[in-house]
Structure 1
């Protein structure tokens, strides 16, 4: 059987992931410059040369990781997801003796972008056809869902919650955040949405644990 190949064109894929501390520092600086330039000049005004100059590196060094601005965007989105998962594991999964309600509230605030959110712009959704790879999207979905399961596994004071409920919560929050970005809800409305999601999620979990 042939192995499935990526649907991304070569120049829209990041070329390598940093492993050494110096390389990770360089890539983080690239992402920081990418965000600053996008905020200042917009996507159309963003070029890899501008990012390299603002980062203080050679264009060739940037191309070692990102051969195009589409590849840079793909890497940035992946970086944001990884940072989110790392933050949830450290702040929600790892603490001991945290009541389950507090874990879930903190998780939802992180997922809704209410605590140290990554920078996103509605126009990023328009880029998905250029960079979206079904296999990578499936992998990210699985990693985020596994994160939810780790959170519930850490809730020792909560009876088991069904896998169906956990996945429904994941879809509701992740999909809601994306839709809020698409229609450009302002910060106040996104904050109100996050508070409502807390109440909905806690209510659903309490109902689920009462099921036979």
Structure 2
């Protein structure tokens, strides 16, 4: 069915068929190799930009054979897709370790850390979550990929709130889902609109104030 954005086939036609990584590393040596590839990928992107980045140059900078790189990434789009997934996995791990599993934290500290880790568009640990990536996101991501990220984030946020054993009243799952949409959607819009640093800081502060105030008023 057609709508304002065209039909589903038209929307998927822009997705590069070679944009998917072929496999994920599992052994220690393979993980080390792929991490070196990612580091070279980020370094070259930041230096030369997307249009001048090549898989051959990434392999050279990473110190691996081009065939080894192609074992994992058949194109630079696949490399970008793999890197984004890699960084999302790290974000989810950080949320689990620093928020869900953290001990001796009162609920305001835990929730503020949850918001900051999820929202901050200038987080240096996410060096390619930027405007340039959003411009070519359609080449590597389908709707199901965005849905997966949303499901993973909402699950981690629910776990974070459940870990707040000093919170008298737990927010409903629907409320938490709404906050994730505001947090992650706001982060993506900050990356797109590129507001001034003071405006981004004000938004982050408002997110913290709004959610903490809601939790306090529910007591």
TM over 0.5: yes
What do you get for the CA RMSD once the two structures are aligned? 1.6
1:188 Cα deviation from its structure 2 partner: 4.0
Find the counterpart in structure 2 of residue 3 from structure 1: none
Find the counterpart in structure 2 of residue 58 from structure 1: 65
Which stretch shifts more, 83-92 or 131-140? 131-140
Whole-angstrom distance in 1 between the partners of 2:215 and 2:83: 33
Whole-angstrom distance in 2 between the partners of 1:31 and 1:42: 15
Whole-angstrom distance in 1 between the partners of 2:73 and 2:84: 13
Whole-angstrom distance in 1 between the partners of 2:63 and 2:160: 40
1:109 Cα deviation from its structure 2 partner: 1.3
Whole-angstrom distance in 2 between the partners of 1:189 and 1:60: 46
Q: What is the TM-score when the length of structure 1 is the normalising length?
A: 0.89
| Equivalent of 1:77 in 84, 92, 97 | 84
Q: Deviations over 1:163-190 (max 9, x none)?
A: 1210111011100110000012344432
| Equivalent of 1:136 in 130, 136, 145 | 145
Residue 158 of structure 2 is aligned to residue 118 of structure 1? no
Trace 1:12-51 onto structure 2 (pairs within 5 A). 12-51=19-58
1:72 Cα deviation from its structure 2 partner: 0.7
Aligned length: 203
Three-state SS of the structure 1 residue aligned to 2:94 is: helix
Whole-angstrom distance in 2 between the partners of 1:13 and 1:165: 34
Structure 2 runs not aligned, ≥5 long: 1-11
Q: What is the TM-score when the length of structure 2 is the normalising length?
A: 0.87
Three-state SS of the structure 2 residue aligned to 1:11 is: coil
1:53 Cα deviation from its structure 2 partner: 0.7
Contact 2:16 2:77 in 1 (8 A): no
